[in-house]
Amino acid sequence: MEILRLLWFTIMLLFFSHLINVEGRHHFSKKPKSKNISYAPSPVDVHVDEQPPASSPASNVVPSDPSYGGPAGSTNSDSGCVFDVTEYGAIGDGSTDDTDAFRAAWKEACQVESAVVLAPADHVFMITSTIFSGPCKPGLEFQVNGILMPPDGPDCWPKEDSNKQWLVFYRLDNMTFTGTGTIEGNGEKWWELPCKPHRGPNGSTLPGPCDSPAMIRFFMSSNLVVRGLRIQNSPMFHMKFDGCEGVLIDQLSISSPKLSPNTDGIHIENTKSVGIYNSVIANGDDCISIGPGSSNVDIEAVTCGPSHGISIGSLGVHHSQACVSNITVRNAIIRDSDNGVRIKTWQGGSGSVTGLSFDTIQMENVRNCIIIDQYYCMTKGCQNETSAVCVKDISYRNIKGTYDVRSAPIHFACSDTIACTNITMSEVELLPHEGELVDDPFCWNAYGIQQTLTIPPIDCLQDGMPQSIGEDAYTCS
């Protein structure tokens, strides 16, 4: 009897347990669908990377901080509002003029916070010279995943368009230019114009550009991010920043042929608080050029070459004042270039270049690895003048590698009247790429110290300070 009661209790327990499990499978919660609010005709959804939490260090960094941001080409739109240019009539076949579609998409996206103007992959968009102007709502992103290019050469350039510039971003704040695509400049026919001569192979002279357009220009804008794009074959400068503040440039690939004239990779002028990181630049002129009015520029993990190196200047042209300060270049590679790190100023200018640091730079077959040239001139008709841009407080540390023996690896040609002062040399070791050691660096009116022995020895650098510095009239306020 006791066994029967135990058996009955077990059967009932299993029966009720089965009922509980069956009922449990019918009870689940389902989150209601969020409403999708559209601000433009048929915006498409794109993947939005998850943003870091408020406590994450990435949420509190400044634009020039190398730890800022996520992967190249990712959007930062919380609204999910994407303005695909193909929805505005862009064809993307490489020959149709898609300018109106881009302008229409930009105009509407400009009014929406965290909007994305999208040039999608698998399209080739041709647009003419265009100014994308603000002010716009914050967080605007211009994302190029396809190919974007101008008309093919000067003969196809619309007569009514400016031939000084192609893409201009004007009066913008908190804007990102990114994507996985390519900005193609179609520069070859511009390089061949018979206006400005430039050096060709084997000592020959080739024609060069007249009023060739700069490819991408940011003007009077702030808090900008440019990331992840491939930019190539510009008619003139690949990218210019003028009158801007707070710029992050990261993970760019910039390229044009070695003999393409005036194709500076990145040019900075009248711009403050800039970070240039993790980029590769090969072109026919300066890899990075820094013009007057620039300060607080940090360049790190950049590879240059072939190129004309990283240049401060030219400065002081046409008796102008030039003020450049607090520039750092570190952990860089410069290869197969006409110059390494260069400061170049015209005679007759005024102002100052101060607070420059070149640290941990690998040179590979570079002419003029370290150069200060205060007699910069593009013709043979320049005359000697007494005034000059003052150059002081320059540090060269851990500069190593090989140089092209056609030029001395170190060249300090400073003004007769205003000496270069407080130059610091430490761990500079430069050996010939091929041929015999050139052990005769050039110095003229240059003062500084060697903290370690250098290769080659720099016996011409003068100790201390000159009796008359003459810099007071030329320093910047």
In sequence order, which residues have a C-beta less than 8 Å from that of residue 15 and are 6 or more positions away? none
Query: Hey, where are the domains in the chain?
Result: 80-193+210-377+385-463
Q: Is 393 a catalytic residue?
A: no
Amino acid at residue number 11: I
In sequence order, which residues have a C-beta less than 8 Å from that of residue 366 and are 6 or more positions away? 305, 309, 334, 335, 336, 337, 338, 339, 340, 401, 402, 403, 404, 409
Residue 170's closest CA among 254, 113, 106? Answer: 106
Q: Is 27 a catalytic residue?
A: no
Q: Which residues pair with 276 in a beta bridge?
A: 249, 299
Phi, psi of 188 (to 5 degrees): -55, -45
User: Which is it for the CA torsion 331, 333, 339, 344, positive or negative?
Assistant: negative
Under 8 Å between Cβ of 39 and 77: no
CATH number for the domain whose boundaries are 80-193+210-377+385-463: 2.160.20.10
Each residue's pLDDT tens digit in the chain (477 positions)? Answer: 444 444 444 444 443 343 333 333 332 222 222 323 222 222 222 222 333 333 222 333 334 444 344 444 444 444 469 999 999 999 999 999 999 999 999 999 999 999 999 999 999 999 999 999 999 999 999 999 999 999 999 999 999 998 899 999 999 999 999 999 999 999 999 998 887 677 677 777 777 777 899 999 999 999 999 999 999 999 999 999 999 999 999 999 999 999 999 999 999 999 999 999 999 999 999 999 999 999 999 999 999 999 999 999 999 999 999 999 999 999 999 999 999 999 999 999 999 999 999 999 999 999 999 999 999 988 777 888 889 999 999 999 999 999 999 999 999 999 999 999 999 999 999 999 988 877 678 999 999 999 999 999 888 999 999 987 655 556 686
Q: Which residues pair with 93 in a beta bridge?
A: 124
DSSP character for 29?
A: -
Dist. CA 132–CA 103, nearest whole Å = 7
pLDDT at 203: 72
Q: Which residues pair with 208 in a beta bridge?
A: 194
The residue from 98, 308, 393, 404 that is catalytic is 308
DSSP characters over 403-448? E-TTS-SEEEE--SSS-EEEEEEEEEEEEESSSS-----EEESEEE
Residue 435, classified by CB atoms within 10 Å of its CB into exposed (0-12), middle (13-18) or buried (19+), is exposed
pLDDT at 162: 87
Tokens of 138: 């914050």
The residue from 98, 264, 285, 298 that is catalytic is 285
The string over 11-32, giving b where at least 16 C-beta atoms fall within 10 Å of a residue's C-beta and e elsewhere, is: eeeeeeeeeeeeeeeeeeeeee
Vertex 247 angle, CA 422 and 142, to 5°: 160
Q: What is the pTM of this model?
A: 0.83
Please give the distance of CA 66 from its chain centroid, rounded to a whole number: 13
What SS3 class is residue 359? strand
Under 8 Å between Cβ of 316 and 351: yes
